[in-house]
């Protein structure tokens, strides 16, 4: 039997002399106490995050929560909690990243549907993962990225670490493989050292390049069973290789991802982009603020975006520090470094 939808009771605006004019209250009750506790978070930490972000106050009594504050902020808090509850009913988590995503989603809904208070929590695009089932884009930038990946043959994504660029691109590539749109996955990164001197690495070629490509492996195992990944690597259905190995090839019916593209030189980028064959899809991700190329070398990502960004078949999505979906501290770290770089004339 399907569980009933969460009950929402709206109370009339309450004005008291001790409160600011326009203060409102919304009472929200959930039918499942266990799921309600997941939504509220351990020691109500999720509610605390919502309070801090939206400037409202909350009071919990069992499976009920009273939200107080300005009308619009209360409505947004209600949408956030209802979104988290719907996700909890589907077996999805409600950690701090999910709360941040719900906050972004609720703000996006207001932009899309300013006259509709009951905007659907299904507004953002979804991907199916192996461990967590269907997961939804956590903010408007991720949603734009998923839409661009579905609409364009070539998509550039720029933005800071922690915005989900690699994870979403790998997930989309796997979905294309499962749907039969493509026949293989080609996942690549430039083998550029990030300031360290790694020296001689033992082992065969795979052992030597794996340290550079570990983040791609991590994302791949989120979307595919480990045995399928290993079988795909053995049969060539999945190929993970450094950028230099792309030279001289034509990649037809393949989903091709270049990650950390800011570390590709202009010539490498041209070589990579011209590998696209019939029926192929190409995704290029990078963070322009973390270029590890030698001084004097031009980042191929910046040049490619400038040259190709206006073409109809090319998508371009830019993530900002506010789109970071890792720990909230990561977002603050990115903001701090960007703020320090601006006075020196860097972006």
Tens-digit pLDDT profile for residues 174-195: 999 988 999 999 998 887 654 4
128, part of any domain: no
Of 82, 99, 123, which residue is a domain's last? 123
Please tell me whether residues 208 and 242 are part of one structural domain. yes
Choose the weakest-confidence range: 110-114, 279-283, 301-305. Answer: 110-114
pLDDT of residue 130: 66
Tens-digit pLDDT profile for residues 99-131: 877 777 666 555 433 333 333 444 566 777 666
Please tell me whether residues 166 and 187 are part of one structural domain. yes
Number of domains composing the chain:
2
48, part of any domain: yes
Which 3-state string (H, E, C) describes the chain? CCCCCCEEEECCCCCCCCCCCCEEEEEEECCCHHHHHHHHCHHHHHHHHHHHHHCCEEEEECCEEEEEEEHHHHHHHHHHHHHHHHHHHCCCCCCHHHHHHHHHHHHHHHHHCCCCCCCCCCCCCEEEECCCEEEECCCHHHHHHHHHHHHCCEEEEECCCCCCHHHHHHHHHHHHHHHCCCCEEEEEECCCCCCCCCCCCCCCHHHHHHHHHHHHHHHHHHHCCHHHHHHHHHHCCEEEEEHHHHCCCCECCEEEEECCHHHCEHHHHHHHHCCECCCCEEEEEECCCCCCCCCCCCEHHHHHHHHHCCCCCEEEEECCHHHCCCCHHHHHHHHHHHHHHHHHCCC
pLDDT band at 317 (very low <50, low <70, confident <90, very high): very high
Tens-digit pLDDT profile for residues 154-178: 999 998 888 889 889 999 999 999 8
Domain of 34 in residue numbering reads as 7-123
Please tell me whether residues 85 and 144 are part of one structural domain. no
Please tell me whether residues 82 and 155 are part of one structural domain. no
2, part of any domain: no
Please tell me whether residues 91 and 161 are part of one structural domain. no
Please tell me whether residues 96 and 146 are part of one structural domain. no
Please tell me whether residues 47 and 171 are part of one structural domain. no
Query: What's phi and psi for 199, nearest 5 deg?
Result: 70, -155
Q: Which residue has the higher pLDDT, 303 or 138?
A: 303
Please tell me whether residues 60 and 190 are part of one structural domain. no
- The CATH number linked to 235 is 3.40.50.300
* Percent of the chain predicted with pLDDT > 70: 76
Please tell me whether residues 285 and 194 are part of one structural domain. yes
Of 79, 98, 123, which residue is a domain's last? 123
Please tell me whether residues 203 and 299 are part of one structural domain. yes
pLDDT band at 235 (very low <50, low <70, confident <90, very high): very high
């Amino acid at each position: 039997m399907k569980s009933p939808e969460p009950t929402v009771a709206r109370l009339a605006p309450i004005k008291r002399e001790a409160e600011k004019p326009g203060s409102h209250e919304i009472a929200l009750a959930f039918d499942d106490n266990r799921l309600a506790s997941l939504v509220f978070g351990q020691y109500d930490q999720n509610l605390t995050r919502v309070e801090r972000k939206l400037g409202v106050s909350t009071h919990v009594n069992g499976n009920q929560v009273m939200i107080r504050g300005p009308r619009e902020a209360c409505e947004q808090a209600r949408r956030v909690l209802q979104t988290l509850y719907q996700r909890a009913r589907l077996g999805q988590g409600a950690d701090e990243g999910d709360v941040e995503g719900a906050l972004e989603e609720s703000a996006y809904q207001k932009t899309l549907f300013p006259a509709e208070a009951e905007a659907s929590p299904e507004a953002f695009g979804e991907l199916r993962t192996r461990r967590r089932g269907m997961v939804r884009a956590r903010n408007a930038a991720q949603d734009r990225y998923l839409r661009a990946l579905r609409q364009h043959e070539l998509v550039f994504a720029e933005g800071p670490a922690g915005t989900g660029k690699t994870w979403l691109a790998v997930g989309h590539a796997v979905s294309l493989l499962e749907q039969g749109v493509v026949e293989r996955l080609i996942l690549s990164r430039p083998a550029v050292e990030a300031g360290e001197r790694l020296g001689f690495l033992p082992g065969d070629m795979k052992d030597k390049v794996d340290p550079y490509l570990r983040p791609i492996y991590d994302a791949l195992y989120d979307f595919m069973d480990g045995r399928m990944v290993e079988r795909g690597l053995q049969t060539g259905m999945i190929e993970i290789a450094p950028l230099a190995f792309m030279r001289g090839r034509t990649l037809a019916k393949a989903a091709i991802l270049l990650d950390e593209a800011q570390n590709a030189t202009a010539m490498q980028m041209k070589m990579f982009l011209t590998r696209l064959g019939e029926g192929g899809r190409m995704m290029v991700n990078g963070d322009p603020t973390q270029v590890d190329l030698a001084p004097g070398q031009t980042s191929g990502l910046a040049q490619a975006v400038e040259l190709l960004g206006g073409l109809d078949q090319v998508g371009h999505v830019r993530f900002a520090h506010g789109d970071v979906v890792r720990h909230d501290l990561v977002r603050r770290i990115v903001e701090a470094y960007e703020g320090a770089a601006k006075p020196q004339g860097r972006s």
